[in-house]
Amino acid sequence: MKTPALLFLFCLFILNGYSQTPYNQQWPSFRGPWALGFIENAKPPTTWNAETGEHIKWKTGIPGLGHSSPIVWDNYLFVTTAVNTAASASLKVGLYGDIDEANDSVVHEFKVYCLDKTSGKILWERLAHKGIPKSKRHTKASQANCTAATDGKYVVVHFGSEGLYCYDFKGNLIWKKDMGLLNPGFFAAPGIEWGYSSSPIIYKNRIIVQCDIPKTPYITSLDLATGNEIWKTSRGDEVETYGTPAVFEKNGKTQIVVNGFKHAGGYDFETGKEIWRLADNGDIPTPTLVIVNDLIYLNSAHGKFSPILAVRTNATGDITLAPDSTKNRYIAWSVRRGGAYMQTPLVYNGLLYNLQVNGQLMCFDAKTGELKYKDSLKEAFSASGIAADGKIYFSSEDGNIYVIQAGPEFKQLAKNPLKDVCMATPAISGNTLYFRTQHYLIAVE
């Protein structure tokens, strides 16, 4: 083929919104491709210094308060925030058990930012909504908890009760959708609201949104180009849930899997029909499910139950474990107590890493459930771990990034302070780590 023809095809490729970068090298939604938390062929640094600037590629201030993670597609980085127009938003981090709500009864600006991932320059910002938040948040949460999602053409952002919005890469609003009042809290204390946090995911021109809210919990599929509803499935008597859905394909069938207390389980991607369900999980489910090598890893920890379970991808029906059992036909292995309350598990190079809010880190053989080690990082953690190049990165709430060598024995390689509160799970693109702290986006390369 002659050069002009090649140039024409390249231009057509770009104009149609497609990327030459493989999907598994993008970071398109919460925890990256397939919510796995890692990408291959990336070599981010082990050490850096936020004070001297060593290995700090750029640092860009982002106003407001948001716990949403950055996402990256090609050279574009997207993040959301909620700006309190009257004062700095309050945030209380650390280990505590209060169910208190923050006072957000003033006007907020709900914003979307697009940055150049190479320079940190803000390319555009958009005001999605302005007003007094329709629902409250926990003192440790934000009004912008949900991570955006993209397919390389559209960017979908979710502000809970303030709506779902779809933009193109130039910042043009394609559509917006009122999702109603999304006000999850603690089911044992009716009326308490902690803030919506389930992020949207995009797959095959559809958006999947999990809305486990009081009285009318549901999961829904929407058309990406229009926001129109394709199906909506009731979650029955499920209590409030905070995790993000995940998706996988097997034997030509696509399945959505979600966390839950009474109804963790799988749904048919095309119809929304329930495929399997699993009860007796932690009663405030937050972690996202992770699918690796025909096993679905489920994690939760609050109340009576705190399991880690490895569910087979061919599960059907009610697969809830019998009392005192650790496995059955569809559950390969499980740990009854020891699961994480906030963090999504990381399954990397055949091992499962489970980090609890108090810093206790457990490493299991992902296939058998054999415990390899248990150690402690001795800090409070909310963000989920990510990995690359044989290294695992855990971000403490105080902004200390622990770098752990991947493997069956515990070995801490570094501890790098970012000097700012860090509640959001970081992203990886190329050889760069992208951290979202309370006040900044920071690129480390």
List pLDDT tens digits, range 141-172: 999 999 999 999 999 999 999 999 999 999 99
pLDDT confidence tier of residue 21, bands split at 50, 70 and 90? confident
pLDDT confidence tier of residue 139, bands split at 50, 70 and 90? very high
Measured CA to CA, the distance from residue 117 to residue 136 in angstroms comes to 32
pLDDT greater than 50 at residue 1: no
* pLDDT (0 to 100) of residue 145: 98
* pLDDT (0 to 100) of residue 10: 32
* pLDDT (0 to 100) of residue 19: 59
pLDDT confidence tier of residue 12, bands split at 50, 70 and 90? very low
pLDDT greater than 70 at residue 69: yes
pLDDT confidence tier of residue 20, bands split at 50, 70 and 90? low
pLDDT greater than 80 at residue 216: yes
Measured CA to CA, the distance from residue 354 to residue 347 in angstroms comes to 9
pLDDT greater than 50 at residue 429: yes
pLDDT greater than 50 at residue 340: yes
Q: Which domains does the chain carry? A: 22-444 (2.130.10.10)
pLDDT greater than 90 at residue 24: no
Q: What is the mean pLDDT of residues 68-72?
A: 98
* pLDDT (0 to 100) of residue 23: 79
* pLDDT (0 to 100) of residue 391: 98
pLDDT greater at residue 342 or residue 1: 342
Residue with tokens 């053989």: 365
Q: What is the mean pLDDT of residues 321-333?
A: 95
Measured CA to CA, the distance from residue 38 to residue 230 in angstroms comes to 31
Burial of 222 (0-12, 13-18, 19+ CB in 10 A): buried
The percent of residues above 90 in pLDDT, for the chain, comes to 93
Measured CA to CA, the distance from residue 96 to residue 402 in angstroms comes to 22
pTM: 0.94
Per-residue model confidence as pLDDT tens digits over 233-267: 999 999 999 999 999 999 899 999 999 999 999 99
Measured CA to CA, the distance from residue 343 to residue 354 in angstroms comes to 8
* pLDDT (0 to 100) of residue 387: 98
pLDDT confidence tier of residue 6, bands split at 50, 70 and 90? very low
pLDDT greater than 80 at residue 388: yes
* pLDDT (0 to 100) of residue 25: 87
Q: What is the mean pLDDT of residues 67-76?
A: 98
φ, ψ dihedrals at 161, nearest 5°: -65, -15
Residue with tokens 């810093």: 359
Could you say which DSSP state residue 384 is in? P
